[in-house]
């Protein structure tokens, strides 16, 4: 059985999800979002994201980590902040000795929805169906689940 930590990095909200590939398909183990306080300095928010991911990794012991790759941001400041968040997610994963895989937003949407330009809502609905969730996941959690699904599909069929 393969256990994957999917991460959707963000400076305001970082989504994460633990999925397993079992004999009967995908199994949702745990998912959520890390929401650092906007009142804290950016460095303190990064530390919080890092520590939260360390806890998730220690508690759920994934085999692999899948992270959504960089997209072209219109705002350079946003791109720089996102890069910092990606760095701490990679550091937490690498320190735990985990293999890190990156997937572009287009590849994730293609793997989950079958269309590389799918909307956030289409991703949310498809993730909810594929993982058999009772409630629609938040956009950030859905993206983390989608990255994990993409990795599982890529690893098994690739």
> Which residues have a catalytic role annotated?
8, 68, 140
Angle subtended by helix axes 105-112 and 139-157, to nearest 10? 80
- What are the beta bridge partners of residue 51? none
* Residue 79: closest CA among 11, 7, 142: 11
Angle subtended by helix axes 42-60 and 76-95, to nearest 10? 40
Q: How many CB atoms lie within 10 A of CB 44?
A: 11
């Amino acid at each position: 059985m393969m256990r994957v930590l999917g991460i959707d990095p963000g400076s305001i909200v970082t989504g994460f999800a633990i999925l397993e590939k079992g004999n009967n398909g995908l199994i949702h183990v745990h998912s959520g979002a890390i929401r650092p306080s906007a009142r804290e300095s950016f460095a303190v928010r990064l530390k919080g994201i890092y520590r939260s991911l360390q806890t998730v990794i220690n508690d759920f012991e994934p085999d692999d980590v899948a992270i959504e790759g960089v997209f072209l941001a219109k705002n350079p400041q946003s791109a720089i902040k996102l890069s910092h968040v990606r760095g701490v997610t990679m550091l937490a994963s690498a320190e735990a000795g985990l293999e890190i895989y990156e997937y572009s937003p287009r590849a994730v949407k293609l793997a989950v929805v079958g269309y590389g330009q799918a909307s956030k809502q289409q991703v949310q609905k498809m993730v909810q169906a594929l993982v058999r969730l009772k409630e629609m996941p938040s956009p950030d959690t859905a993206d983390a689940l989608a990255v994990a699904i993409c990795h599982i599909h890529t690893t098994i069929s690739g």
